[in-house]
Structure 1
């Protein structure tokens, strides 16, 4: 039995949530909170297996409730939120504070047809994730010490034309930490695939949120843009589009899913391996599944400096674990230490 605490102030939305969960005998609603204060109290008293969290609550907000719960009684949290811009930024802040994933509330259109089974699947997935700490401790600069390199350390490349990053569950916090810790004068373009299992409205707001969190120039990638023009920028794969590099130019496609993902980290990593070889770095961060592991291995085989996030700092040690098992990661470190190693590589602007 998976014990669920529902946090939602709208009676109508609470009814939708109860109705959806009642169809699965293994999902049991053990409590309903209508404010942030009640959410904190019930999380402590009931010790649920998973929490659905609304962001816009009376009194203490859903974001503040998430921060309290993750600091005092860490519990897997699925944010169930609307696509209102103010609420979207609170949602991403909650993900950075320790919430595991996000799901959009019903929109009242044809997209609602499979909303209930999607909610049940999301809760099952989130409930399995072990959460043990408050990620804001890391975001505030108190990074954990990483493990030893996956293999004897090789001399890093003396040039760095591009950095490729992949992340999934827990990625917003890990990406924020990595980008914040890069020095202000780090000018190498950063190409990033972040899996976001939400609507396009949710995903599009992510670039603005990440820019605000890190102080870096973050935007979604455009097709046909030469990488050499992207100095100092962080480029994200757009929603439902693969991002890759061909002839040192950004390309987007709606090609087949890889590992049930589009965008896919492997698609990006494989293209960077082929185009840049030893003048690239690859970073595979927290996430469920194995997307990115084989691509990171290809990057390492081509001479790139490769990193996997360490288990202690991951929300989900899935994708990085697969990379470590393959021998794809030269270094296994928390995001802040990955950033420090990247800063040691002399950045150059590709002229090709």
Structure 2
């Protein structure tokens, strides 16, 4: 799998390089130190997957994701120091097409095998799901308004989504009216540590109220 790294920290780049090199099939095709450099390099040599940092000089990972998915789309995995602390930016990037997010593995005694395994697991899932080179995510142009009749609207709408789902969810929920008149249940494959961040992000996109499900909710 041809993989690119976008990160302005040498120690993070080295940590990612060491993890990737444990799998013979992974090849690092280029490294960029900021989002603008990544956009330019991706246009010339589009990899199978980009490991994208969020906080960088010149251009951050959110804007880089937006531009790459528009100009030379490929799979993007957000790799950041702390998903929890950067959850707003994580889901903003997912809204532009990033497929998933994971914490950056750490070198030396401060690192844990779990962090490296989590990264490799995310990469394997993306490779399997997308056949290495995913097509750009696209959606039909939505109508300017959405109307429903009481005779056709169900009382409960269920939506299931997995990797890449946040982009689809943002496109759907942002077009629904506040007076929808039906309950919506969303089952999204997402790591538990940033489920609350996803709820906060979706609440900013829709007039409907989004909350994390609890036992006994009706």
Which interval holds the TM-score relative to the shorter structure? 0.7 to 0.9
1:213 equivalent to 2:205? Answer: yes
User: Contact (CA 8 Å) 2:99, 2:163: kept in 1 or not?
Assistant: yes
Alpha-carbon distance between aligned partners in 2 of 1:98 and 1:51, rounded to the nearest angstrom: 12
* Other-structure match for 2:79: 80
Alpha-carbon distance between aligned partners in 1 of 2:152 and 2:76, rounded to the nearest angstrom: 42
User: Contact (CA 8 Å) 2:83, 2:101: kept in 1 or not?
Assistant: no
Change (3 A) 1:17 1:162: same
Alpha-carbon distance between aligned partners in 1 of 2:8 and 2:127, rounded to the nearest angstrom: 22
Change (3 A) 1:127 1:43: farther
Change (3 A) 1:126 1:87: same
Correspondence for 2:171 among 162, 165, 177:
177
TM-score by length of 1: 0.54
Q: Give the C-alpha shift of residue 46 in structure 1.
A: 2.2
Query: Matched residue of 1:51: which SS?
Result: strand
Correspondence for 2:215 among 223, 235, 239:
223
User: Contact (CA 8 Å) 1:71, 1:134: kept in 2 or not?
Assistant: no
Change (3 A) 1:158 1:143: closer
For structure 2, which runs of at least 5 residues remain unmatched after alignment? 144-149
For structure 1, which runs of at least 5 residues remain unmatched after alignment? 145-155, 228-352
Larger Rg: 1
Correspondence for 2:157 among 163, 183, 189:
163
CA deviation string 1:34-68 (max 9, x = no partner): 10111111112222111100011111110110111
Alpha-carbon distance between aligned partners in 1 of 2:81 and 2:151, rounded to the nearest angstrom: 45
Q: Give the C-alpha shift of residue 99 in structure 1.
A: 1.2
User: Contact (CA 8 Å) 2:83, 2:90: kept in 1 or not?
Assistant: no
Query: Matched residue of 2:205: which SS?
Result: helix
Correspondence for 1:194 among 175, 188, 196:
188
CA deviation string 1:78-116 (max 9, x = no partner): 111233556211111111111122112247999932322
Q: Give the C-alpha shift of residue 14 in structure 1.
A: 0.8
CA deviation string 1:283-304 (max 9, x = no partner): xxxxxxxxxxxxxxxxxxxxxx
Alpha-carbon distance between aligned partners in 2 of 1:83 and 1:188, rounded to the nearest angstrom: 36
* Other-structure match for 2:134: 131
Give matches, 1:106-145, under 5 Å: 106=105, 112-128=112-128, 129=130, 130-133=133-136, 135=138, 138=139, 142-143=141-142
Change (3 A) 1:223 1:20: same
